[in-house]
Amino acid sequence: MEKIKIAVQKSGRLSEKSLEMLSECDITLTQGKRKLIAISHDFPLEVLFLRDDDIPQYVSDGVADIGIVGENEVLEKDKKVELVKRLGFARCRISLAIPQDVEYHGPQWFEGKRIATSYPGILQKYLDEQSIQAEIEEISGSVEIAPSIGLADSIFDIVSSGSTLVSNRLKEVEVVCNSEAVIIASPALSSEKTKLLNDLLFRIETVQRSKGNKYILLNAPNDKLDKIISILPGIKSPTVMPLHQEGWSSLHSVVNEKEFWGIVDQLKENGAEGILAIPIEKMIY
């Protein structure tokens, strides 16, 4: 049987979450004989561990069928790959930052300036759109120290909390793009591999959907049932079962974490008792 080959970052900010996601999909990995490859016995999948910068290229060449990588690398490398799913982790933005004490009135500030970055492709595209001529200093790491050592006037880099900028006395002045981990796919997957990709996406979506949802059980007096049912969202409608104690029922439903406390308050106000909330592992509609 054919296997789908997935490229995952070998070590870095995406690695752990990528493997955790596979494991939540009940795909366990056995370390293969070669260290850079792992295989799964419960899903026809092989993992190739690579540097994140190389993943778009490997996927566009078809060496890997799919890959998990930051959207920023996909934009930067500009290879022929399809973005098939946003994964919601490793969220960050790619921004322009300048020294804190410098006055700033808009992107024209960058005209004639030197900007240090590891993302020259994304930056050049932005500068062209803004009709700005600037000098790009491409460096591969520790971009944030470039202004203090006199290598550049400003930087274009990944920002998440902004604390790295602050500790380097820089301020974020333009957010050029946002990024999160995504799944990319080779443009020419065989029909068998497309089927495997869809099976994997189905599992990922099932896990993502159940995250943030809780299974809720409670007891309610029968004369308040209609009101309590109207408070509970549920997938279709809540399950109602009679309790041994006359005049009372047990209700089961699914509630999203965001609404959870609000709903619990209303349930209590309407006479619900013995409320239990249980984590949900998988939700399939």
Comparing CB distances to ligand ATP, the nearer of 160 and 237 is 160
Of 54 and 193, CB closest to ligand ATP: 54
d(CA 144, CA 99): 10
Compare residues 158 and 228 and give the one whose CB is closer to ligand ATP: 158
CB nearer ligand ATP, residue 89 or residue 260: 89
Q: Residue 247 class from Cβ within 10 Å (0-12 exposed, 13-18 middle, 19+ buried)? A: exposed
Could you give the strand order of the β-sheet that contains 213-221, starting from the edge strand earlier in sequence? 239-242, 248-256, 213-221, 273-279
Q: Is 92 in the site for ligand ATP (CB under 6 A)?
A: yes
Should residue 13 be labelled a site residue for ligand ATP when binding is judged by CB under 6 A? yes
- What residues are paired with 12 via a beta bridge? none
By CB under 6 A, tell whether 9 contacts ligand ATP.
Answer: yes
Burial of 63 (0-12, 13-18, 19+ CB in 10 A): middle
Binding mask 106-145 for ligand ATP (x = CB under 6 A): ----------------------------------------
- Do 43 and 27 touch, CB atoms closer than 8 A? yes
**How many C-beta atoms surround the C-beta of residue 199 within 10 A?**
15
Q: How many residues bind ligand ATP (CB under 6 A)?
A: 16
When asked if residue 70 is in the footprint of ligand ATP (CB under 6 A), the reply is yes
Distance, in Å, from the CA atom of 171 to the CA atom of 101, rounded to the nearest integer, reads 9
- Which partner in ligand ATP, Zn ion, none is near 72 (CB below 5 to 8 A by kind)? ligand ATP
Contact residues toward Zn ion (CB under 5 A) are 52-53
* Footprint on this chain of ligand ATP (rule: CB under 6 A): 9, 12-14, 51-53, 70, 72-73, 90-92, 158, 160, 179
